[in-house]
Chains A and B, each alone.
Chain A
Amino acid sequence: MTDNTQVSSQYAIRLQDLTKSFGETLAVDHLSVSIKRGEIFGLLGPNGAGKTTTIRMLSALIAPTSGTAWIDGNQLGKQDQEIRRNVGILTESPGLYESLSAERNLAFFAQMYEIENISESVEKYLRMLGLWDRRFEAVGTFSKGMRQKLAIARALLHEPNVLFLDEPTSNLDPEAARLIREFIASIKHDGRTIMLCTHNLDEADRLCDRVAVLKSHLLALDTPTALRRKLFGRSVVFHLHKTLPKYRETVKKYQFVKSAEIVDNKLLVKLDKPEEQNPILIRSLVQAGAEIQFVGELRRRLEDVYLQLIDMEKSQ
């Protein structure tokens, strides 16, 4: 097997020093990331961080200034038409022909992708996204959620192995956003690789296997859980009937306890290995007279991780 074949079989997307400048503005700075097949990969970052530019480059819509990437085994700049044939993209704005019906919109794009069984594919995705009954209606009459669903159907019509989703739930009401999120989670099971570009960090946390935080260059890259642990460590919360200062002192005597603090009726303890260390602390607290109601791990939000990373970047 050649290097490229090995790369294409293991990774759906591989970026190598991908860079894009618009005049003097550096939009994407030497980005190198490898994304495994079947992974949902989140691209996070503030406005102007280069997320959309990255997606556009990877969809062969715009050319990189330097560096390259392989998408589903095809090299950017050398096999652009193949890339366009094999990736699906949901653009920031749904971009649908408003005077045409939902069916006509999909049929048009199906022809552009040279799909063989157009009517079957169109029907499959219109039904899957609950738009079949309104297939003959002009898209101009559709709600935002329906348009977004139709745009997702369009991105999937040609059964791409790699899917780029740029802000899939922005400007949607909570119900429509949930439906879209559930749909994204469901298509992951088809083995598709999804690159999700979003400002909704809760959404990224729920959907993504790994996330990258960008600000032109890569700030961090890992699973949401690993990023939390890297930045904040692991904290255990002991919900106590009564919180007395002596309970804090009880846990603090152990060397493995990094910090302990009382917040309301909770005792927050920072640990390295809670699975091993929790039983010891529980025993000591009970012996000290504490009435433990619940014990759980403090789950930091991905938003905390993101803001911490952005702050760290600003302070550098």
Chain B
Amino acid sequence: MKKVWVIIRKEWSEVFKNRLVLGTVAFLPLLFTAIPLVTLYYTGTGNNADSAIAATDLPPQFAQLCGDLNGTECMQYYIVSQFLILFMLIPLILPMTFASYSIVGEKRTHTLEPLLATPITTFELLAGKALAASIPGILATWLAFLVYEIGARILAISPHVLARLSDPLWLIAIFISGPLLAIAAVSIAMMISSRVNEPRVAEQISALFVLPLVGLFIGQSTGLLLVNQTLIIYMTIGLIVLDAGLLAFATQFFQRENILTRWK
């Protein structure tokens, strides 16, 4: 495992010198944290008797999501929960950006052959690259969520809303589905990277895999579907199955000789 760590450190020292990647890593979590906090702030400042919303005024799917929250609380919770998907985009987009650059970079600089000539195992190489790509995205997600949690405690209009914003739905999404998404993203990006020669091409193709989550976000915003605990649990189970399949496929896919002869 020592070599895995050596690979991770090398990857980070290389990738973090790339301003575009560094900018993406910093900007995306900042943006995705700011949006729900600003929303919380504005929905909270309107919380007075004149603007109070009756629970009966809300659409049925709101009631299904809110349970015993009053109308105004439900409104705030509903709007902010829309942005849960944004947090789940971070562990998808950041590892993809990393993986696209780190693997295609090996091709462009022809470093793969001397690297494979060392006594490193294929598992160590791939694990190092996958972890180097995943860890920053996962940590950034968790950090962004921590900032959001602190902000939510200050800005939530009531303890009931706060309790909902910290319920298992969010925790499962951030701490379990997030890393699973990162693994899926890295596996997909690595496979795509092995077939193309430009980081941008790898990134653009990989970006297509963000679409299901964007679809989820749009579906929820338009009221077509409801992101609740059941959906997140199903999604997590689906991701476990997907990751297991992708990792098994990746292990088959990345044979040492294939890596060398195909990653030109």
Interface residues, chain A, with chain B CB atoms under 8 Å away: 22, 56, 59-63, 81, 84-85, 87, 89, 91, 93-100, 104, 108-109, 111-114, 151, 154-155
In contact, B13 and A114 (Cβ under 8 angstroms):
no
A113's partner among B110, B118, B261 (CB-CB below 8 A) is B118
Q: Does B154 contact A (CB under 8 A)?
A: no
In contact, B6 and A112 (Cβ under 8 angstroms):
yes
B110's partner among A61, A81, A93, A111 (CB-CB below 8 A) is A93
* Cα separation A108 to B118 with both chains bound (whole Å): 11
Q: How large is the interface on B (under 10, 10 to 19, 20 to 34, 35 or more residues)?
A: 20 to 34
Q: Which residues of B contact A91 (CB under 8 A)?
A: 110, 113-114, 117
In contact, B10 and A97 (Cβ under 8 angstroms):
yes
* Cα separation A89 to B112 with both chains bound (whole Å): 12
Closest 7 CB pairs of A and B: A112-B118, A93-B110, A95-B110, A84-B119, A95-B111, A111-B6, A99-B17
In contact, A100 and B118 (Cβ under 8 angstroms):
no
In contact, B114 and A89 (Cβ under 8 angstroms):
yes
B260's partner among A61, A100, A111, A154 (CB-CB below 8 A) is A61
In contact, B6 and A108 (Cβ under 8 angstroms):
yes
Q: Does B222 contact A (CB under 8 A)?
A: no
How near does chain A come to B197, taking the closest CB pair, in angstroms?
A: 14
Which residue on chain A has the smallest CB distance to residue B257? A62
* Cα separation A22 to B17 with both chains bound (whole Å): 38
| Given contact pairs A62-B257, A111-B6, a sample of 8 additional A-B residue pairs in the complex whose CB atoms are under 8 Å apart | A22-B261, A91-B113, A93-B113, A95-B115, A99-B13, A99-B17, A108-B6, A151-B114
Q: 10 A-B pairs, CB-CB below 8 angstroms?
A: A56-B113, A60-B117, A61-B257, A84-B117, A95-B110, A96-B111, A99-B17, A99-B18, A111-B6, A113-B118
* Interface flags, B109-129, vs A, CB<8A=1, else 0: 111111111111100000000
Q: Which residues of B contact A59 (CB under 8 A)?
A: 117
* Cα separation A22 to B233 with both chains bound (whole Å): 47
Q: Does B200 contact A (CB under 8 A)?
A: no
Q: Which residues of B contact A93 (CB under 8 A)?
A: 110, 113
Q: Which residues of A contact B118 (CB under 8 A)?
A: 84, 109, 112-113
A100's partner among B13, B112, B117, B119 (CB-CB below 8 A) is B13
Q: Which residues of A contact B2 (CB under 8 A)?
A: 111
In contact, B261 and A108 (Cβ under 8 angstroms):
no
In contact, B257 and A96 (Cβ under 8 angstroms):
no
* Cα separation A136 to B112 with both chains bound (whole Å): 23
Most buried by A among B17, B111, B120: B111
In contact, A63 and B110 (Cβ under 8 angstroms):
no
* Cα separation A97 to B105 with both chains bound (whole Å): 9
How near does chain A come to B102, taking the closest CB pair, in angstroms?
A: 11
Q: Does B3 contact A (CB under 8 A)?
A: yes
Q: Does B68 contact A (CB under 8 A)?
A: no
How near does chain B come to A237, taking the closest CB pair, in angstroms?
A: 46
In contact, B14 and A95 (Cβ under 8 angstroms):
no
In contact, A61 and B111 (Cβ under 8 angstroms):
no
How near does chain B come to A140, taking the closest CB pair, in angstroms?
A: 9
Q: Which residues of A contact B13 (CB under 8 A)?
A: 99-100, 104
Q: Which residues of B contact A94 (CB under 8 A)?
A: 110
B119's partner among A81, A98, A108, A154 (CB-CB below 8 A) is A81
* Cα separation A91 to B257 with both chains bound (whole Å): 16
Q: Which residues of B contact A113 (CB under 8 A)?
A: 118-119
B117's partner among A22, A89, A108 (CB-CB below 8 A) is A89
In contact, A61 and B117 (Cβ under 8 angstroms):
yes
Which residue on chain B has the smallest CB distance to residue A59? B117
* Cα separation A155 to B113 with both chains bound (whole Å): 12
* Cα separation A63 to B110 with both chains bound (whole Å): 20
A62's partner among B3, B14, B260 (CB-CB below 8 A) is B260
Q: Which residues of A contact B121 (CB under 8 A)?
A: 81
Known: A108-B6, A113-B119. A95 touches B113 (CB 8 A): yes
B120's partner among A89, A96, A112, A151 (CB-CB below 8 A) is A112
Which residue on chain B has the smallest CB distance to residue A109? B118
In contact, B10 and A108 (Cβ under 8 angstroms):
yes
Q: Which of B1-39 contact A (CB under 8 A)?
A: 2-3, 6, 10, 13-14, 17-18
In contact, A85 and B6 (Cβ under 8 angstroms):
no
